[in-house]
Chain A
């Protein structure tokens, strides 16, 4: 086998192992392995005070954002208040 392909394959395996897949607001997104909810919000430039997080249908209190690690295939909903009647 072409050594360059092997190298490429190894590199993509390494890069894949650093990422997990999560469904965020209905979209499949890659998230860095080890990311907490706080890390995720920061990476999306969202103010944690203005966001409510539902992780696999359970609401997560803001105090726990830093300690909860996102796992592969987690379903995450990020919601906030918008105009309504």
Chain B
């Protein structure tokens, strides 16, 4: 039975879903809204960008998503240094309705792996400035611990590179990060299909954030629904305390009572 009251608390805010979704890459805004609703997510990420002055303001996400219905988490995507990350963070806070932020400082253009040193430095400054920082990072335990030390409300290690769809490539390190950190661990990036989401949750993490997996599916609304179920299945599977795997067959039916 899926636990009905398995709520997630991050930074004194309670979430009723462990699935967080992005809003980028959708073919159209109507599909995006339908997919977000199908995911039953509790938090959606958004980016801060220049307004195209020659186009309609309908391209703005607030034209389609009601901030009273969806908790919006501005990100610092596309930032490659501390200065830019701080600038985008402040713009996001001014544009939005809270001090919550998804911090990412990218260190490499081809892999989009994080610059962990810059991420820690930016997180420290932003936390001191009153931000509630959820920090995207790699699957490195020491960085995760440092991000927790500087006051991040959640640490978000990647499953695999952003947009790759490879699933969780290093479950051991994800488990170790979860085991050692006290703040919630939200795996961010790399999930491709529902089984990946399920396996990720089975590592014991607190939630998963994804964008491309849903947005780039042929049927994003159906994939959003699959992800919702996978997250719940993975969470219940983890909580149920599954059996230990062994490389030997053990019969399920009694060996006694067989006929001569």
**Residues of chain A at the chain B interface (Cβ within 8 Å):** 24-27, 44-47, 50-52, 54, 57, 59, 61, 77-85
**Residues of chain B at the chain A interface (Cβ within 8 Å):** 22-26, 32, 45-51, 53, 57, 59-63, 72, 74-75, 77, 87, 90-92, 94-96, 162-163, 189, 209-212
Q: Which 4 A-B pairs have the closest CB atoms?
A: A84-B47, A85-B22, A85-B211, A83-B23
CA distance A81 to B212 in the complex (A): 18
Q: Which residues of B contact A81 (CB under 8 A)?
A: 46-48, 60-62, 72, 74, 92, 95-96
A47's closest neighbor in chain B, by CB? Answer: B57
Q: Which residues of A contact B47 (CB under 8 A)?
A: 81-85
A77's closest neighbor in chain B, by CB? Answer: B50
Inter-chain contact B51/A25, CB cutoff 8 Å: yes
CA distance A80 to B25 in the complex (A): 17
Inter-chain contact B46/A50, CB cutoff 8 Å: no
CA distance A51 to B26 in the complex (A): 22
Inter-chain contact A80/B74, CB cutoff 8 Å: no
Q: Which residues of A contact B163 (CB under 8 A)?
A: 85
Given A83-B32, A85-B211, are A78 and B53 also a contact pair (CB < 8 Å)?
yes
B65's closest neighbor in chain A, by CB? Answer: A81
- Most chain B beta-carbon neighbours within 10 Å: one of A26, A50, A57, A83: A83
Q: Which residues of A contact B63 (CB under 8 A)?
A: 50
Inter-chain contact A84/B22, CB cutoff 8 Å: yes
Q: Which residues of A contact B75 (CB under 8 A)?
A: 84-85
Inter-chain contact A80/B53, CB cutoff 8 Å: no
Q: Which residues of A contact B46 (CB under 8 A)?
A: 81-84
CA distance A54 to B51 in the complex (A): 12
Q: Which residues of A contact B189 (CB under 8 A)?
A: 85
Inter-chain contact A85/B77, CB cutoff 8 Å: yes
Inter-chain contact A80/B77, CB cutoff 8 Å: no
**Closest CB of chain B to A20's CB: distance in Å?**
17
CA distance A45 to B54 in the complex (A): 10
Q: Which residues of B contact A50 (CB under 8 A)?
A: 57, 60, 62-63
**Closest CB of chain A to B154's CB: distance in Å?**
16
- Most chain A beta-carbon neighbours within 10 Å: one of B25, B57, B75, B87: B57
Q: Which residues of B contact A84 (CB under 8 A)?
A: 22-24, 45-47, 49, 75, 77, 211
CA distance A61 to B93 in the complex (A): 11
**Closest CB of chain B to A68's CB: distance in Å?**
15
